Amino acid sequence: MMENLMSLLAMNFFRNALIASLLASITCGIIGTYIVSRRIVFISGGITHASFGGIGMGYYMGFDPILGAVLFGIFSALGIEFFTRKADLREDSAIAMLWALGMALGIIFIFLTPGYAPNLMSYLFGNILTVSLTDILFLTFLTLGIGAFFILFYRMILFISFDEEYALTNNTPVRLFNMILICLVALTIVLNIRVVGIILVMSLLTIPQAISNLFTRYFHKMIFLSIFFGFVGSISGLVFSYVYDIPSGAAIIFALVLMYGIAKLFFIARKSFTKKQHAL
């Protein structure tokens, strides 16, 4: 087993997968913590599924589907902000509308595309083993951009995340920061589609954070723990997918859910043990 794993490390595609796992863990760890803290997971789900329209458009028009997904993702993110702020439309209604529109357009474009749409399943369910150097380059730029933004404006982001109304009364540029952050959410979702796919990417943005939340309530600690758990889950999923020859995206999510279950059981057992100690 160890010899087989070591031989895998000598292969370019597996090394690319490891690098992509690290970058995905960093980007999703940071953005996922923001999403969970702001309680906008449903918005992120809307952006995720709306991006399918861009993938379909890319197939139909003959350009990189990820580029189309980026455009659709950003426009959907800004569209949600516009409809809820300017058009007096309920947020959940705006999300549902753009979610459905993106999926419908994606299906229409793919149906109209002549021939068979190659690699479509990898966009839906992910295949980290097919990540290219170009994908890694984009993820690297995204990681550096998100890292720099959160370091420079950490206090402002924390302020807006936990008390937006009070931030508005202090003349904080809340609208501007919300637009930038929602665009970063969209880019994080779209550029990580290669890792776990449209259907599963929300898990990478929420499960590591759920595990981290068992250990800490502090925003900055949740970020670092989410990155750690995300990377451990990604590596475990990669090994699991190699050993049992199953899709890597699904294996990564399975590993993360298993980690959450083990951590939750540990805390339940510890709480029960503590109660018994106090009773004695």
Cα 138 to Cα 148: distance, rounded to the nearest angstrom: 15
Cα 221 to Cα 158: distance, rounded to the nearest angstrom: 13
- Quick one: tokens of 86? 């300017």
Degrees to nearest 5, angle at CA 204 with 201 and 210: 135
pLDDT at position 261: 94
Q: Which of 227, 230, 234, 258 is nearest to 248 (CA)?
A: 234
pLDDT at position 198: 80
How far apart, in Å, are the Cα atoms of 215 and each of 117, 171, 219, 225? 44, 34, 12, 9
Tell me the residue range of the domain where 118 lies.
2-279
Cα 78 to Cα 34: distance, rounded to the nearest angstrom: 17
pLDDT at position 167: 72
Degrees to nearest 5, angle at CA 266 with 265 and 269: 85
Per-residue pLDDT of the chain (280 residues; tens, 9 = 90+): 555 566 666 677 788 888 988 999 999 999 999 998 888 888 888 888 888 899 889 888 888 888 888 888 888 888 877 777 766 677 777 788 888 888 899 889 988 888 776 677 777 777 777 788 888 999 999 999 999 999 999 988 888 887 777 777 777 788 888 889 988 999 999 888 877 788 778 888 999 999 999 999 899 999 999 999 999 999 898 888 877 888 888 888 899 999 999 999 998 888 887 777 766 6
- The amino acid that residue 144 corresponds to is L
């029960």: which residue's tokens?
272
């999923």: which residue's tokens?
237
Contact 139, 24 (CB under 8 A): yes
In sequence order, the 6+-apart residues with CB closer than 8 A to the CB of 34 are 157, 161, 181, 185
In sequence order, the 6+-apart residues with CB closer than 8 A to the CB of 78 are 179, 182, 183
pLDDT at position 32: 92
pLDDT at position 47: 86
CATH number, residue 138: 1.10.3470.10
Q: Which of 37, 36, 65, 38 is nearest to 52 (CA)?
A: 65
pLDDT at position 7: 65
pLDDT at position 9: 66
pLDDT at position 6: 63
pLDDT at position 211: 94
Q: What is the pTM of this model?
A: 0.88
Burial bucket for residue 274 (CB in 10 Å: 0-12, 13-18, 19+): exposed
Degrees to nearest 5, angle at CA 63 with 184 and 140: 35
How far apart, in Å, are the Cα atoms of 150 and each of 30, 181, 231, 235? 8, 10, 20, 26
């380059």: which residue's tokens?
137
Q: At what angle do helices 12-38 and 133-152 cross, to 10 degrees?
A: 30
Contact 41, 91 (CB under 8 A): no
Domain count, the chain: 1
